[in-house]
Chain A
Amino acid sequence: MNGGLKIELGRRYRFSASHRLHSESLSEEENRRVYGKCNNPHGHGHNYVVEVRVSGNMDPATGMIANLPDLDGFVEQEVIEPFDHKLLNAEVAAFREHVPTTENLCKEIYARLVRFPKAKLESVRVEETSNNAFEYAGEER
């Protein structure tokens, strides 16, 4: 319906959270060696930026792939509210088992947002700082 074109909608969100990079499978020395200052037992925090891209048919009545309040509300409920101003290791169930690296954070956010009912999730990109970014688009491509 888009004349052979694929159109995606992108939206950026922000949350701030703390984490500690520490693997139970490694010794104290190995953890310090692998994770460096990110292994600080007191944790540390980032201002994360989450960039979400979705695709789908544009509703002819609205000209939109997804109405922004629907997408914003879903991301708020699934990601921002449970992650913002939290210690990820302790307060997000997935990170009791997995080290909350931004790679794993991308995958966890993807797993939550892929359930968005009104458009197809294309990818999740997370910027941990303005110099580090990670992107996950599922396993199919």
Chain B
Amino acid sequence: MVYLTRKLEFSASHRYHNPALSAEENQRIFGKCNNPHGHGHNYTLEVTVAGEPDPVTGMVLDLKELKDILGREITHRMDHRFLNFEVEELKGQIPTCENIARVIWNLLEPKITKGRLHKVRLYETPDLFADCYRNGAHGA
């Protein structure tokens, strides 16, 4: 098994706010991430695909194909967007790094048909990230 990883960056804004909680609770739990005007990050996404290299091409999947999938599914959807309002899949969820990583996994998994999606790692800052795997999958 070979694991290949493609990286991409996008920039987006978000706000942490749970309408079921009071203003004070939101402020206490989410701190400055609760700023009503939102704030933004430069996100870095690492997508790892596992598979056996095709005997003819030597590739698990064509990186150009992966780049196109990531462009359509992720960059087009999330880059320069306010994640709370402009990304359908995140509506009603708090756009934490964990939730965005999960949404990205669910968007990509059905689109990757050569090899299989192994891991999504989303950096919100260089010091904060979330990993998403299928339960039981480990390595790389």
A50-64 interface code vs B (CB 8 A; 1 in, 0 out): 000100001001111
Q: What secondary structure prevails in chain B residues at the interface with A?
A: mixed
Given A6-B134, A7-B132, A62-B18, A69 contacting B127 (CB threshold 8 A): no
Q: Which residue of A lies closest to B131 (CB)?
A: A8
Tell me, yes or no, whether A5 is within 8 Å of chain B by CB.
Answer: yes
Chain B interface (Cβ < 8 Å from any Cβ of A)? 16, 18, 20-21, 29-31, 93-99, 101-102, 105-106, 121, 126-138
Tell me, yes or no, whether A12 is within 8 Å of chain B by CB.
Answer: yes
Chain A interface (Cβ < 8 Å from any Cβ of B)? 2-13, 53, 58, 61-65, 67-69, 141
Asked if B94 and A12 make an inter-chain contact with CB atoms under 8 angstroms apart, the answer reads no
Instruction: Report B-chain residues with C-beta under 8 Å of the C-beta of A11.
Output: 127-129
* B44 nearest CB across to chain A (Å): 12
Asked if A61 and B21 make an inter-chain contact with CB atoms under 8 angstroms apart, the answer reads yes
Asked if B99 and A9 make an inter-chain contact with CB atoms under 8 angstroms apart, the answer reads no
Q: Which residue of A lies closest to B136 (CB)?
A: A6
